[in-house]
Amino acid sequence: MSNTPAYGHELQHDPAVLHAAVADAAPRSFWLDDSSRPESRSRLTGTITADLAVVGGGYAGLWTALIAKERHPDWEVVLVEARTVGWAASGRNGGFVEASLTHGPENGELHFAKEMAILDRLAEENFNALSDTIHRYNIDAEFELEPTLTVATEPHQVADMKDTGEDILEGDSLAAYGRSPLFRAGRLDYHGNAFVHPAKLAWGLAETAETLGVKIFEHTRARKFRKAGDLTVVRTRRGQVRARRVALATNGFPSLLKRLRLFTVPIYDYVLMTEPLSEAQLDAIGWTGRHGITDSGREFHYYRKTADNRILFGGYDAVYHRGRKIRDSQDQRPETFERLADHFFSTFPQLEGIRFSHKWGGMIDMSTQLVAFHGATRNRRIAYSAGYTGLGVAATRFGAETMLDFLEEADTERTRLRMSRRLPIPVPPEPIAYPLIQMMRRAVAKSDANGGKDGLLLKLAGLFGVGFDS
């Protein structure tokens, strides 16, 4: 194998070939482009009273509403969503379900070293509870308990992998899980790993919540709130919810609590989905199992199979669009799609010439600790959870339980955690944010190209508990 870096920003294939591969791809999420997508729900008009108002119809909000009704069947629970359930990150992610609440052990040790034993136990309990909920309510989320293969594509990554003391796959043992000229070594992670159809999970959670009595209103953007005696009034364009408690599950979208708005930043991630592959094509790349794959770079890729044997291939580019804006137009980025196609064909040259059926992007609510934070206002009328940084499929359930603990004025292990007591370091406002994030992106790329050795900027950021990954 060559010592040339496996992946880079410069294209290795004919741009015409890459353009042709993505040209006819549908510019929308494969997961949301599904015939089983439910009919749109009505918007809220007039005034409604609730014991709990949930703002946001992604995973965090849906889990909050569902669990609230399980804990308190007599509560009136109302959820308002600005567009439709699961339309944002919850319907666009890769469908990797990871038990970790800390973005891996290394990041956990950096921020929560004294609590790792508790966090690992809570993570496992949360993962098991997610699986139990899916099976108990017969949610058709295409849930698969399968491992993830983490591959090393650079020499220093092989060394780092071997230093863990875990069983490492090389040669024929690695080729049994995937044949690529870029794979040097690999590690299978079985514990706390699963896969779902992301949109079907969101739709299933919503349907289940409704069967328990939750009222869900779509096309109902929460604009602001105000106190009204013992209640909080959540105002929408055509109505309002008068609630005893409010759970804010808007993640990377601007929080109704303005003081929280600098603690997340919208980072865009992009994804390609191939056309369905034949058994012969999958045999050619040695990927006959149902496991997912991710590589070990700071700018990393993730890839997995769908039920009909397409390959989802995403990651690497982590793009911040100047101004902290979240716009539909930013869901498409041709240069990133062609770069992903280039990396895909470098990974699996056996598949060069195939076409991609879908191309899309979406916003990730990144926090500087790369992990979600949770909390509540002083009177515990309003709780919040945000900053999942691409690790929200399972962790949002934990965030939901933590918000409910706060709103119930309960003292629990969840509310005592550091991530529930302290906010991460904020990301500065513009005009500082854009050049700072671009500097961090360049530093991460340089680290990957320099054998994984962090430069001064990343080392300094680490001392202050600030992280950045693709």
C-alpha 195/C-alpha 214 separation (Å) is 27
C-alpha 195/C-alpha 227 separation (Å) is 41
Instruction: Tell me the per-residue pLDDT of 39-51, one tens digit each, with 9 for 90 and over.
Output: 999 999 999 999 9
Region 15-26+148-189+265-364: CATH code? 3.30.9.10
Parallel, antiparallel, or unpaired: how do β-strands 77-80 and 215-217 relate?
Answer: parallel
| Element housing 143 (H / E) | none
C-alpha 136/C-alpha 383 separation (Å) is 28
Domain with CATH 3.30.9.10 in the chain: 15-26+148-189+265-364
Nearest to 383 by CA among 360, 352, 404: 404
- Per-residue pLDDT, 468: 65
CB 220 within 8 Å of CB 54: no
- Per-residue pLDDT, 456: 78
- Exposure class string for 157-182: b at 16+ Cβ within 10 A, else e: bbeebeeeeeebbeeeebeebbbbeb
Q: Which two tokens stand for residue 183?
A: 């794979």
- Per-residue pLDDT, 404: 98
Angle between helices 116-136 and 198-211 (to 10 degrees): 70
Domain with CATH 3.50.50.60 in the chain: 46-139+196-264+368-421
> From the first residue on, what is the mean pLDDT of each consecutive set of 10 residues in the chain (470 residues)?
77 96 98 96 98 98 98 98 98 98 93 97 98 98 98 95 92 98 97 97 98 98 96 98 98 96 97 98 98 95 98 96 95 98 98 97 96 96 97 98 98 98 96 92 83 78 67
Q: Which CATH architecture has domain 46-139+196-264+368-421?
A: 3-Layer(bba) Sandwich (3.50)
CA 61 to chain CA centroid, Å, is: 14
- Per-residue pLDDT, 457: 73
**pTM to 2 decimal places:** 0.96
| Element housing 442 (H / E) | helix 433-449
The letter for the amino acid at 342 is D
C-alpha 358/C-alpha 331 separation (Å) is 12
Task: Please list the residues that pair with 224 across neighbouring strands.
Answer: 235
Q: Which two tokens stand for residue 344?
A: 């895909």
Nearest to 364 by CA among 387, 384, 396: 387
